[in-house]
Amino acid sequence: MLEISEIFCSIQGEGYRQGIPAIFIRLYGCNLNCKFCDTPQAFKKKRLMQEKEIIEKVEFLAKKKAKISNVIITGGEPYLQDFSLLAELLKKNGYFVAVETNGTIWREIDLDWICISPKRDALKLMPSGYDKRFKKVASEFKYVITKKSDILFVDKSIDKPVILQPVNNDLRIASMILMEIKKAGMPNWFIRLQLHKVMKLR
């Protein structure tokens, strides 16, 4: 049984896998309180759903929307809840299962793609802003950049793709990020705008 905020169909608007049609399962609640949070819906609506019920909803949307095979479990902070059974059932049903997390709560869950998005608000919980056990299993890292000093928070020891995302698609911040990527000379750092916002999707 999981607390769900919403289940909907859209595209992956952020990160390395940007542009892929996907079904989003948004789990309720978060353990952080970022000033720039753009998912207020993760704190408002809450519905208790059995894992089988969630799969039925996903299957309905996947078929309705022309065979979508990607599912993204997100939040809020999804690791607040044990979604291992949901992930297992989704994989059994043939879905590619990704998760987006702030990386502060460690659970060993078998997934196809793990995006860690460390937040400065997490520095009060741990020195690096994320649980280092995620470093081995992560597929990508994504940092929201609000100002130049946020670049200093980016962990340079990460050898996976690192996405630097200007807050609210701010183009002034995007230009600054581009300059900083050039200066840093990190071959695994990328800049990405939020595509779903450009396209005015959810």
Q: Contact with ligand SF4 (CB under 6 A): which of 22, 25, 42, 98?
A: 42
- Strand arrangement, sheet containing 21-27: 47-49, 2-11, 21-27, 70-74, 96-101, 113-116, 140-145, 162-166, 189-191
Non-local (6+) Cβ contacts of 78 within 8 A are: 27, 99, 100, 101
Nearer to ligand SF4, 30 or 98 (CB): 30
Does residue number 7 form part of the binding site for ligand SF4 (CB under 6 A)? Answer: no
Write down the residue that tokens 């300059």 correspond to.
179
User: Token pair for residue 88?
Assistant: 């297992």
Write down the residue that tokens 């980016």 correspond to.
154
- Using CB under 6 A, which residues numbered 86 to 105 contact ligand SF4? 102
Write the interaction track for ligand SF4 spanning residues 108-147; mark x where CB under 6 A is met and - where it is not: -----------x----------------------------
Interatomic CA distance for residues 202 and 61, integer angstroms: 15
Nearer to ligand SF4, 12 or 102 (CB): 102
Q: Contact with ligand SF4 (CB under 6 A): which of 10, 18, 39, 168?
A: 39
Does residue number 77 form part of the binding site for ligand SF4 (CB under 6 A)? Answer: yes
Q: Contact with ligand SF4 (CB under 6 A): which of 34, 85, 167, 181?
A: 34
